[in-house]
Structure 1
Amino acid sequence: MDMTTVQHQPPKALSRAQERKLMEYVEDHFLEITRNFKKRSDVSSTLQTLSSYLTATHTLMSIILQIPPVNPSGSLRVTLLLRLTGDALSAIPGYKPDVETLPTLLDWLNDLDRGWLAVLRSQVWDTKSRTGIDISGEDSSSAQIPLQSPTMSQTERTRLRSLIIGGTSTMEEWLVELDTGGQDYDLVLQTLGLQQGFDDLFAGTLAEMGSFSGIMNMPEGMTGTC
């Protein structure tokens, strides 16, 4: 995926009031999702199905990705997206896989992959294209200047790599439980046109982290759609 640079007003870090409001919103949603996931077998849960879980967490993903990639907000975006990634990759195998939901799941995972690419590249998240975009501003001499947040630390990259590798490995085992009517699940995925997508999970993020030499790698205006 090529990075795109557009002329746009440079993003601004969240104010303390905006950050506090955002954290309250995000924390409430994390708690609500966790609570309903734990009781997913109960009729009172709002997350009884994988589809409902993906919808709820997709909204949260979008909010997190829209945090401005400038100090000090950029670090908050990394922290929250790591938390969401860990929670989701652990929770998804807690549901029974079904053929009807797999395309939605793959779309969700691809959005997360593109989201991490945006974070790793310190890009602004564009909700329409669902990709990261380089934003250039102008200084007093009208020269273009890149707007960057601090790069992810080695610890954060190592944590992300561990989550992705562990999560995809668990998902491979989980997909074997797919009800395929006796057919090989790989054949079913091929028939659905999903085999390559699941084989290439997080390929973009892992490739981007590998490019780092020596490293193992609700404010106004935010919406809940990636």
Structure 2
Amino acid sequence: MAGESLSRTQRNNSEDRPLLIKHLTPRQEERLRTFLDERLSGLERDERTHKLGPVPQLSSRLSTLLQIILQIPPSPPFASLRVSYLLTLTSVIPLYITALPLLSTGHRTQQEAQEEAASVIEGVLGLLKEVENGWLAVLRSDGWIPPRTQLDEKGDSEGARSHLIFGGKSVEVEFGGQVDITEKIRLKSIVMSSRSRLLAWSRPYGNFDCPGSSLPDEETEPQSDTNTVVATHSGGWEEEVLLMWNNLLEVLSNDLA
């Protein structure tokens, strides 16, 4: 399987951790394209037949694909392949997530509903943060090393789908491919529409009544560092939704200025 080959290529024998993938053979590239196309088509099919949910399962499937795409070599001729698939995945993540109810069916008290909503959205926010970190790496023309997880052994199997995969690291490389202006414009459009969509989806389950509880303007400077989780300071996850992808948006706004 292409996902397995990407995860298993070049390991550190002392730590058993995947290392940076610098090249794909023609056969590996063909298998990778087939693998990703099948997984993306499967998500589209499940969305049409209402089989995407629940949200944690969907988030796990999406996080697996994200890590595999980010591992595509960052140098030409593979860099354009990475950007193309990452744009596609980024555009569908908010569409598929917001197509589902945040909470599964069943009777619960208001307090129970709030607690479950916070738990579910924590996973969603973790996925969105990993997307942002991945894009920041791609925009810097960096490579990507995934975290050590069960994905390394199981690929995209059902056994791995119960896990969200976060904590990948960017790595500087020489001669990394660039993201062109058209792709940056498309990405910025995806970011803006996704923020509004996810805010509308999560608003019924959180406290967004505080002053200034609306999405920051696209020209507003980010209020958090790339690796800062705002909710740990504010006491809730609502502010994380309001500030999602701010660092990515700042980079894109500067690049397109």
TM normalised by structure 1 equals 0.75
* Residues in 2 aligned to 1:104 and 1:148: alpha-carbon distance in whole angstroms: 31
Point out where structure 1 has 5 or more consecutive residues left out of the alignment.
Answer: 1-8, 136-145, 217-226
Task: Point out 4+ residue stretches in structure 1 off by more than 6 angstroms.
Answer: none
Is residue 2:56 matched to residue 1:18?
Answer: no
* Residues in 2 aligned to 1:193 and 1:152: alpha-carbon distance in whole angstroms: 35
Is residue 2:236 matched to residue 1:211?
Answer: no
Task: Calculate the aligned-residue CA RMSD, in Å.
Answer: 2.2
Is residue 2:218 matched to residue 1:199?
Answer: no
Evaluate the alpha carbon distance shift between residue 193 and residue 155 of structure 1 in structure 2; reply closer, same or farther with a 3 A threshold: same
Deviation at 1:35, TM superposition (A): 1.2
Is residue 2:202 matched to residue 1:164?
Answer: no
CA deviations over 1:64-109 (Å, ceiling 9, x no partner)? 0000101110000000000001111211111112413110000000
Deviation at 1:11, TM superposition (A): 5.0
* Residues in 1 aligned to 2:199 and 2:21: alpha-carbon distance in whole angstroms: 39
Determine if contact 1:186/1:195 at 8 Å carries over to the other structure.
Answer: no
Determine if contact 1:97/1:177 at 8 Å carries over to the other structure.
Answer: no
Evaluate the alpha carbon distance shift between residue 194 and residue 21 of structure 1 in structure 2; reply closer, same or farther with a 3 A threshold: same
Determine if contact 1:11/1:70 at 8 Å carries over to the other structure.
Answer: no
Q: Which amino acid aligns with 1:70?
A: S
CA deviations over 1:185-204 (Å, ceiling 9, x no partner)? 557x9786313321221122
Determine if contact 1:175/1:185 at 8 Å carries over to the other structure.
Answer: no
* Residues in 1 aligned to 2:61 and 2:127: alpha-carbon distance in whole angstroms: 11
SS at match of 1:177: helix
Evaluate the alpha carbon distance shift between residue 127 and residue 10 of structure 1 in structure 2; reply closer, same or farther with a 3 A threshold: closer
Deviation at 1:16, TM superposition (A): 1.5
Deviation at 1:176, TM superposition (A): 2.3
SS at match of 1:13: coil
Where relative contact order (Cα < 8 A, 6+ residues apart) is larger, the structure is 1
The sequence identity of aligned pairs, in percent, is 25
Partner of 1:130: 168
SS at match of 2:22: coil
**Number of equivalenced pairs:** 185
Determine if contact 2:55/2:97 at 8 Å carries over to the other structure.
Answer: yes
